Structure 1
Amino acid sequence: MISRLVGDDGWANVNSGQAIGLLAMVGVLFGWSVIGPVRVARAVDPHERAVILAESLRSRAWTALLAVPAAGVVTFFVSSSDYRVESVMLAVAMAIGGFTPAWFCIGEGNPRALMLFDGVPKLAASALSLPVLLLTGQIFWYPIILVLLTVPAFATHAVMVRRGHDPAGVPARPTRRVLASLVPTAAIDAAGNAYGSTAIPIATVGLPATEASAFASADRVYRIGLLAVIAVGNAFQAWVLDPAASDRRRRHVVAFGALGGLGAVGGVAIAALGPWATAVVFGPAVAAEPLPCLLFGLAFFFISCGTPLIRNLLIPAGRFRLVFTATVISAVVGVTTMLLGSIAGSGTGVALGVALAEAVSVSILLVPAWRQFRADTAQPAVL
């Protein structure tokens, strides 16, 4: 709906606002999406989980003071004047999404809470926005409705988790210590999103409006596909990391197979069906080109294969420095390639940067993850 309201001139701008907002959301989370599920999965009782949530809320309140305004400012300068207000509002709404309890629900292995407090409000915002956008033709209503529905849901989840746990009696660490402990995982998350979320802004700045919008459509299909990777990765993480598991090797292998298979099927689907799907969903004027779709399909395969290596093996083992190093190298390779593609006016070059970044990351982490797998599965489960 939004792609048709803004046309090929505005589609790239709107996607830039959303991409910058998602990067700011990573700043608000400041590593909780990486280490948070692991800590919650390993927590032994509800009180310990309440402490973890309390620490996250306090730290995210501070990081939001910087990340949310920054999202608006950056989007203001990246977007064109015709769609600046709407793009900034989208960026801010996405950034506020950093208060989501999704990572906490994932660590709990609680899909019902994940759907109730994260999925349903977002789906409801989309459903309510459709008629409003049709009637008014103004897309700024979507970020407004999104914030009005998601923030109360986030707050309700926090109240329910903390209920029965006196805030004054919860031995949460000081926020300064919490933020300091999160630096390694926050750095990993930020570096990874440096090449994950900057492709659209780079393309918007360097490419003609029509080509940038076509690239935005290919990127949008890729981002929608990543929701499946996130969902499958989330579904397996608490199960694989269960401290009471006696079949640890089998659980790792099942997770590897599921995400590897998803990467292969999804990657082929993006490459083969991307141009047709974007023409149908977003409109022929902003349909994606075949070659960028092929490169995004390769990126999808690699990121799907790399997800269990990082989330189920290396991060739980405390291999933060290794993951950070691989992510930084990937970010340098990816962003450099994207910038060169943008300077050359090539959407294919920008897409190549996304694919190269994910391929480099998996290549660096594969052998250390295999060694960690052997070490983890050689030890008996802790009962």
Structure 2
Amino acid sequence: MSAKYGSGGWATVAIAQSVGATGALIAELGWGVTGPQRVPRLSAVDKSILYRQSVSSRATVVAFAVLPVSVITWLLCDFSRISAIVISLGSLCLAFSPAWFFIGDGKPGQLLAYESLPRLVFVGIAALLIHYDFPIGWYGGALIVGSVTALSLSAICSHLGFFHWKQNWRTIRSQKEVVLGRAISGSFTSFAPALVGLVNPLAVPVFAAVDRLMRMALAILAGIPNRLQSWLGAATGRDRHLRSLMSIRYNCYLGLVSGLIFGLLAPTFVTVLFAGQVSFGYELSALSGFLLFLICTSRGFGLAMVAAGRAKHITISVLCAAGVGVPLLCVLGLYFGAVGALAGQILAETVGIVIQSRILSMKWKSNRQWSTYAASVLQS
């Protein structure tokens, strides 16, 4: 895309994906947060019902999100707007991903076969067509077809089915706290390129490039925290508490090593991936590497909060982080470009980690006090 349409075309794609991904973050309804730890404890029949409930609830929200996502994309993009809308809708359809279910069920092979490989094929075909001067909207079309294929293969090959409309609105309402947290977090994560486009359009190509590289790295690293979700969900009592501590430690180490590697290699990779149309130096890659470390650490705390029954309290930490991150991202992005926007995200993630650690420490402290009280009652 960058080779064919330059940095301006890349900026349009980045903003369209930003808007669509934020819509997907909301429409996904938090199933990726709470779902994987619920799956291991269910029977085969209940797993199928849970999966179909998730598809029905997400389809409902996606239907309502199509219009606002399209309008916002049209307003923010000034290059190839129709293609931009198709890309944003393709990104919105990522809300249908069955990844959370197969992760919770401990079946990564089915995730690879039903979603990852088909999407790779369709996106590869779209990239080939764009290379031969087809519109960039074909990329969005590939994302839509990939999502439909993943849903179909999961429903048919895994015998999960498609929809379960019974108590659909109740299912949606039950996820409202997590959805609120996801929507707020999206304001300074997935929606960040669009915000930068509002305050400093010239900074979008570089910021979106470093952000995309970091998100690609996070997607690769996601396999480890994803696997930890089912591992945590299968534990109980004291064992779950110990596994939560180990999860935080593992994610912290993972982020530290990955952030260092990213900071060293990102300036080289960006030149290759963006065909020389976009580039940045070690200053930006170092900041992005540190942000990657913080996000990995935050993932560990998030898993521990779900395991501790504090999934709904994640909204508190996210609200505090957004209260700091969004204004700083806009102000610093306006005056310092991509560097300022990254600094705003770093401060937001730091605030979120501090709040999450405080909530967890209070929960674990109350658990210890309750255990001590129960033991004294039993002894008496």
Q: Same fold (TM over 0.5)?
A: yes
2:178 counterpart residue number = 185
1:26 counterpart residue number = 25
1:99 counterpart residue number = 96
TM-score, normalised via structure 2 length: 0.89
Among 356, 359, 362, the alignment partner of 1:368 is 359
Q: 1:49 deviation in Å?
A: 0.6
Change (3 A) 1:281 1:245: farther
Secondary structure of the 2:222 match is helix
Change (3 A) 1:54 1:114: same
Answering whether residue 202 of structure 2 is matched by residue 202 of structure 1, we say no
Q: 1:244 deviation in Å?
A: 7.1
Distance in 1 (CA, whole Å) between partners of 2:233 and 2:38 is 10
Distance in 2 (CA, whole Å) between partners of 1:29 and 1:126 is 22
| CA deviation vs aligned residue, 1:192-216 (integer Å, no higher than 9, x gap) | 222111210122222243x321111
Secondary structure of the 1:144 match is helix
Task: Spell out the pairing of 1:28-177 with structure 2 (5 A cutoff).
Answer: 28-43=27-42, 45-80=43-78, 82-162=79-159, 174-177=167-170
Between stretches 62-71 and 285-294, larger displacement belongs to 285-294
2:374 counterpart residue number = none
Secondary structure of the 2:234 match is coil
Distance in 2 (CA, whole Å) between partners of 1:360 and 1:166 is 40
Among 248, 269, 278, the alignment partner of 2:270 is 278
Distance in 1 (CA, whole Å) between partners of 2:99 and 2:295 is 20
User: Does the 8 A contact of 2:87 with 2:137 survive in 1?
Assistant: yes
Change (3 A) 1:112 1:371: farther
**Structure 1 unmatched runs, 5+:** none
Secondary structure of the 2:132 match is helix
Between stretches 247-256 and 8-17, larger displacement belongs to 247-256
Secondary structure of the 2:36 match is helix
Distance in 2 (CA, whole Å) between partners of 1:289 and 1:204 is 21
Distance in 2 (CA, whole Å) between partners of 1:166 and 1:309 is 33
CA RMSD of aligned residues (A): 2.5
Change (3 A) 1:115 1:166: closer
User: Does the 8 A contact of 2:240 with 2:307 survive in 1?
Assistant: no
2:220 counterpart residue number = 228
Secondary structure of the 2:179 match is helix
Change (3 A) 1:330 1:113: same
2:376 counterpart residue number = none
Distance in 2 (CA, whole Å) between partners of 1:166 and 1:284 is 44
Distance in 2 (CA, whole Å) between partners of 1:166 and 1:176 is 17
AA of the residue aligned to 2:155:
A
Q: 1:372 deviation in Å?
A: 4.7
Answering whether residue 346 of structure 2 is matched by residue 347 of structure 1, we say no
**Structure 2 unmatched runs, 5+:** 372-380
Secondary structure of the 2:308 match is coil
Q: 1:239 deviation in Å?
A: 1.4
Among 254, 272, 294, the alignment partner of 2:286 is 294
Distance in 2 (CA, whole Å) between partners of 1:108 and 1:340 is 43
Q: 1:309 deviation in Å?
A: 1.5
Q: 1:253 deviation in Å?
A: 4.8
TM-score, normalised via structure 1 length: 0.88
Distance in 2 (CA, whole Å) between partners of 1:264 and 1:364 is 20
1:322 counterpart residue number = 313
Distance in 2 (CA, whole Å) between partners of 1:140 and 1:12 is 14
Aligned length: 369
2:7 counterpart residue number = 8
Q: Percent identity?
A: 24
Distance in 1 (CA, whole Å) between partners of 2:276 and 2:37 is 43
Distance in 1 (CA, whole Å) between partners of 2:34 and 2:251 is 20
Answering whether residue 230 of structure 2 is matched by residue 238 of structure 1, we say yes
Change (3 A) 1:166 1:289: closer
| CA deviation vs aligned residue, 1:124-154 (integer Å, no higher than 9, x gap) | 1232223222223532222222322331221
Q: 1:286 deviation in Å?
A: 1.0
AA of the residue aligned to 2:51:
L
Secondary structure of the 2:309 match is coil
2:299 counterpart residue number = 307
User: Does the 8 A contact of 1:215 with 1:288 survive in 2?
Assistant: no
Secondary structure of the 2:307 match is coil
AA of the residue aligned to 2:190:
S
Distance in 1 (CA, whole Å) between partners of 2:111 and 2:162 is 24
Change (3 A) 1:56 1:208: closer
Distance in 1 (CA, whole Å) between partners of 2:327 and 2:32 is 26
Distance in 2 (CA, whole Å) between partners of 1:290 and 1:264 is 17
Secondary structure of the 1:284 match is coil
Distance in 2 (CA, whole Å) between partners of 1:242 and 1:285 is 47
AA of the residue aligned to 2:250:
A
Distance in 2 (CA, whole Å) between partners of 1:288 and 1:40 is 43
AA of the residue aligned to 1:76:
W
Change (3 A) 1:282 1:161: same
